């Protein structure tokens, strides 16, 4: 599989081109089964927890209830109606499952969306706490990190402007706005590029090991 895709890169004609195209489509379809597997696994874990009455088993009931409510609303397109398009009648099964009138969209808007947004927004508080309690200039390296972060942080603020706006034009590169742009475009870019090259080499070697069968950890141990 891997070899065919590599060959298709160098020989972009049939049969390799067609195989590349088909395998890409199959991969996309199989990815959906991975979602179903995830859902099934979730059910198995939480139903097991409820059955064995392990710690916090009552919350697992909430998980399972939420799961089935969303699943049934979506799979059966509850709330969705038949529609007419260009004079032709279409059944409700052909309608958008996320249409304005659907229960699925309603549940998404009042549960999934606020829960996901709020979960991520909690991180702002922990970042603030970390900045105060853990971010210390203990070494030269930590100081460089601190200075770079500080310049980036104050760039959009009035502090960033008033700190350096008075610098004459020959020293304009030291103004916070310009310095911040330079830090992102040069040292940040260089550091990220070095990491990127390192990761690329790692991925290439791992891919070769997978294709040649040297690496078989994804199979889950010896059969």
Residue 160: CB atoms within 10 Å: 20
CA distance 100 to 79: 9
Output the smallest distance, CB 147 to other proteins, in A: 7
Output the smallest distance, CB 165 to other proteins, in A: 14
> Site map for other proteins, 98-137, x if CB under 8 A?
x-xxxxxxxxxxxxxxxxxxxxxxxxxx-xxx-xxx-xxx
3 state SS of 137: coil
User: Closer to other proteins at the Cβ: 165 or 190?
Assistant: 190
Residue 170, interface with other proteins (CB under 8 A)?
A: yes
Output the smallest distance, CB 7 to other proteins, in A: 9
Burial (CB count within 10 angstroms: exposed 0-12, middle 13-18, buried 19+), residue 169: exposed
User: Closer to other proteins at the Cβ: 15 or 198?
Assistant: 198
Residue 47, interface with other proteins (CB under 8 A)?
A: no
The residues, any chain, with a CB within 8 Å of residue 169's CB and separated by 6 or more, are: none
Residue 49, interface with other proteins (CB under 8 A)?
A: no
Binding residue for other proteins (CB under 8 A) from 14, 15, 51, 68?
A: 68
Output the smallest distance, CB 162 to other proteins, in A: 12
Question: 105 — phi, psi (to 5°)?
Answer: -65, -40
Give the residues across from 83 on adjacent strands.
90
Burial (CB count within 10 angstroms: exposed 0-12, middle 13-18, buried 19+), residue 163: middle
Output the smallest distance, CB 21 to other proteins, in A: 4
Cβ-contact 222, 13 below 8 angstroms: no
Rule CB under 8 A: which of 2-41 touch other proteins?
2-6, 9, 17, 20-41
CA distance 33 to 98: 20
Binding residue for other proteins (CB under 8 A) from 51, 157, 162, 165?
A: 157
Output the smallest distance, CB 208 to other proteins, in A: 7
Residue 196, interface with other proteins (CB under 8 A)?
A: yes
Structure tokens at 196: 């990127």
Residue 174, interface with other proteins (CB under 8 A)?
A: no
């Amino acid at each position: 599989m891997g070899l065919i895709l590599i060959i298709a890169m160098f020989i972009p004609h049939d049969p390799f081109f067609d195989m590349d195209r088909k395998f890409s489509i199959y991969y996309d379809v199989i990815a959906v089964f991975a979602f179903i597997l995830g859902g099934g696994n979730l059910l198995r874990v939480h139903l097991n927890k409820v059955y064995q009455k392990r710690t916090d088993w009552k919350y697992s009931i909430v998980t399972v209830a939420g799961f089935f409510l969303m699943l049934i609303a979506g799979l059966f397109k509850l709330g969705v109606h038949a529609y007419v398009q260009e004079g032709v009648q279409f059944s409700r099964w052909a309608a958008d499952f996320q249409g304005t009138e659907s229960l699925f969209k309603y549940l998404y808007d009042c549960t999934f969306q606020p829960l996901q947004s709020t979960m991520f927004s909690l991180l702002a508080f922990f970042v603030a706490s970390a900045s105060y309690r853990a971010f210390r200039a203990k070494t030269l390296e930590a100081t460089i990190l601190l200075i770079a972060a500080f310049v980036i942080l104050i760039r959009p603020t009035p502090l960033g402007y008033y700190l350096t706006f008075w610098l004459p034009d020959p020293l304009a590169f030291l103004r916070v706005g310009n310095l911040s742009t330079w830090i992102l475009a040069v040292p940040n870019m260089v550091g990220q590029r070095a990491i990127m090259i390192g990761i690329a080499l790692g991925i290439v070697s791992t891919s070769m090991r997978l294709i040649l069968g040297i690496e078989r950890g994804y199979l889950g141990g010896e059969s």
